């Protein structure tokens, strides 16, 4: 069987496959945070990060409780911003960015970010960097607790996130943050 193609017709846009728009595109694609932080956030946004609830879905026998609090089941939603440790870190970052709002669930924070940060203003660029670096650092602290038995206090994690963002900023972004 041979396939004939009419080169004079061009490509018809109606025959192109349409893909769903993803709400997290601006958070991960237009971000100058570290690549490993972007990758971990991308996994978290798709609920593909290996939390205990995912292990249980795979029929792996494990204790479902969060390593941090030992009260609630570990999930992406719990780890990122529902647990008091991560909520405290994120609240400090919102304060640094002068964003006055309460910390919400991971899904709501992601939705707020994609609605609020539609433009490429300095504050939006910084928000995206901080969001991604925060998710990565909380995940790092969770893994550090599992494999090494310790994690840093929220104040030190906040300072580390701040440092990681500042070193990737322009001079004018740094001035915006600290003036």
Contact 50, 149 (CB under 8 A): no
Q: What is the chain's mean pLDDT, rounded? A: 87
6, 8, 9 from 1: Cα distances, Å? 16, 22, 22
Contact 102, 94 (CB under 8 A): no
Q: Which tokens go with 77? A: 């939603």
Separation between Cα atoms, residue 35 and residue 122, nearest integer Å: 20
Q: Is the pTM of this model over 0.75?
A: yes
178 vs 79, higher pLDDT: 79
Statement: residue 17 has pLDDT above 90: no
Statement: residue 59 has pLDDT above 80: yes
Over residues 115-138, the pLDDT tens digits come to 877 767 888 889 999 999 999 999
In the prediction, which pLDDT does 25 show? 66
Over residues 129-169, the pLDDT tens digits come to 999 999 999 999 999 999 999 999 999 999 999 999 999 99
Stretch 30-52: mean pLDDT, rounded? 91
- Residue indicated by tokens 């504050």: 123
41, 45, 75, 126 from 162: Cα distances, Å? 17, 22, 25, 10
């Amino acid at each position: 069987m041979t396939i004939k193609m009419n080169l004079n017709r061009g490509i018809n846009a109606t025959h192109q496959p349409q893909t769903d728009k993803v709400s997290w595109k601006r958070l991960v694609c237009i971000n100058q945070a570290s690549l490993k932080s972007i990758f971990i956030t991308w996994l978290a946004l798709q609920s593909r990060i290996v939390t205990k609830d995912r292990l249980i879905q795979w029929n792996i026998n494990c204790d479902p409780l969060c390593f941090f609090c030992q009260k609630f089941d570990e999930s992406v939603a719990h780890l990122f911003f529902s647990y008091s440790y991560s909520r405290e870190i994120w609240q400090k970052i919102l304060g640094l960015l002068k964003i006055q709002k309460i910390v919400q669930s991971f899904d709501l924070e992601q939705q707020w970010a994609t609605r609020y940060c539609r433009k490429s203003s300095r504050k939006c660029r910084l928000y995206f960097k901080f969001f991604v670096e925060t998710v990565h650092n909380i995940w790092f602290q969770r893994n550090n607790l599992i494999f090494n038995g310790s994690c840093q206090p929220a104040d030190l994690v906040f300072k580390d996130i701040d440092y990681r963002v500042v070193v990737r900023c322009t001079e004018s972004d740094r001035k915006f943050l600290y003036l």
